[in-house]
Amino acid sequence: MTTRFAESPDTAPDTTPGTASDTTPGTDTDTTPGTASDTTPGTASDTAPDTAPDTAPGTDTDRRASLGALAELDRLVGSYGMASRVQQLPNHPGEPRFAIFTASMGDLTAVAANIAESAAGSDIRGGMDGAGGGLDAERAARLCVAESLERYSSCVFDESALRWATAEELGDEALDLGTVPRCAPRELAHPRSIVTAPDPAGPMRWARGWSLTGNRPVWVPAVMVWMHIKAKSAAERFTSPISTGCAAHSDLAAALVGAICEVVERDSIALTWLQRIPWPRIELDEIPERLAPYAERHRAGHVRTLFFDATTDLGIPTVYSIDLTPDNEVLGQLVMCNTDLDPVTSIGKIMRESASSRIAMQVPRPRPENPDDFLNVFHGASYMGAPERVGDFAFLLDGAERRPLSGMPRLSTGTAEGDLRLLVDRLGAAGCDVVAVELTTDEARDVGFRVVRVIIPQLMPLSFVHTARYTAHPRLYEAPARLGYPVHAEADLNPLPQPFA
């Protein structure tokens, strides 16, 4: 597999300040080390446990050197920066004491017309702020900026760079709408439905992407690429914008790896809950040295976490987890998940990110009474997090199968380029089309970062919209069968809202 794109970072044209580049990712990758940024709402940016230092060296020069490319993100913070301020959040008493920071971007409706149009007068301040966690404050304080940069880049775009057309008019140059997830007729007929069936004859906006599996340019529906993009035709309502598959990194290949892994992760999350798959519980029969500091801090709290091997038929290691805190009147259960070619990395990341999510999930927020009105991550996660709902997780908690961590495959090649080839080859062999779109803004490019969105239409999407769970997607029924698990028909799917946070 050749990971070649339309333009290299050295030749890609400059973009308009505050807008996304209309080019596809470049041919070469940066060599400066950095960190991928996860866009899960309320969680910390992605960084592998084995690359994060336990403590920063003593001098300012040493500290900046240990941060690598993350140190460049300081230039985005200030009164006239992308983020106005960075602040540390307090851990709740008795919970794992990781350093958790957030980067405030303020009111983005004032800088991007599409965000203002999408917000429609509502106050979205804080809704897109990035969070970052780590063993030391220096790194965590930059990771939250990396996540804010990722989220900002996924929200701003140049409307004039998009192309209005139908899928029929674009033909083979367009993403095949026949492969994208779709809602079942019962979902579409629901009185609170906000989506439609994909319509190849319906006009919509398209953005240029690159198929990593087909090694060719491809037009992608813009509503599958950006957040805060309001549908401007009935055809554009076939999906609900979500952050799945966005990633930022100083290295292009690493950004693509992070984005692909997140799409695979979200596929497993959806399959797990809707089909109630009783994954084997992971026994931590070993604590590798690089995981030890994370495990030590996690165990110091009162949170009990169970890990499950949620690796699907794709064979890409995925870890699903449930935090159990029955003494917490607000958050008795918290679901996390991560995909990485090394499951040890996933467990360390979950330990760290759950600390961030636990802070976010215990902030009082309004929630509709009827689950059919649930629209965002906090709705389902807070509803299912109530301690009295622990029985709804019995399909996992009561499972008897165990799998030692030492027995799980570790597939990392040791390089981002090698990992990217492995992932694309494996997904291609499974019949998936892996499409990447460049989201890099001027702000990102100026500090040496790339931001990408990866779309894999054949995989099951994560949805926080309870009336739109895409239950007509073939993979929802085919994947459990290939894994040897019972397959629930549409009428027998889990009726409860998505608990992942």
> Is 439:451 a contact under the CB 8 Å cutoff?
yes
Kindly report whether the global pTM for this prediction surpasses the value 0.85: yes
Q: How far is the C-alpha of 12 from the C-alpha of 5, rounded, in Å? A: 11
CB atoms within 10 A of CB 86: 22
Where helices occur in 214-314 by DSSP H, the ranges are 252-275, 292-299
Q: How far is the C-alpha of 51 from the C-alpha of 45, rounded, in Å? A: 14
pLDDT at 54: 42
**Mean pLDDT lowest among 16-20, 129-133, 233-237, 431-435:** 16-20
Residue by residue, what is the 3-state secondary structure of 20-37? ECCCCCCCCCCCCCCCCC
pLDDT at 310: 99
**Mean pLDDT lowest among 18-27, 255-264, 466-475:** 18-27
Find how far residue 105's CA is from the centre of its chain.
Answer: 19
pLDDT per position as a tens digit, 91-104? 999 999 999 999 99
Q: Does pLDDT of 437 surpass 80? A: yes
- Amino acid in position 466: H
Q: Does pLDDT of 209 surpass 80? A: yes
Percent helix, strand and coil across the chain, each rounded to 5? 35, 15, 50
Strands ordered across the beta sheet of 333-339 = 333-339, 318-324, 304-309, 281-283, 402-404
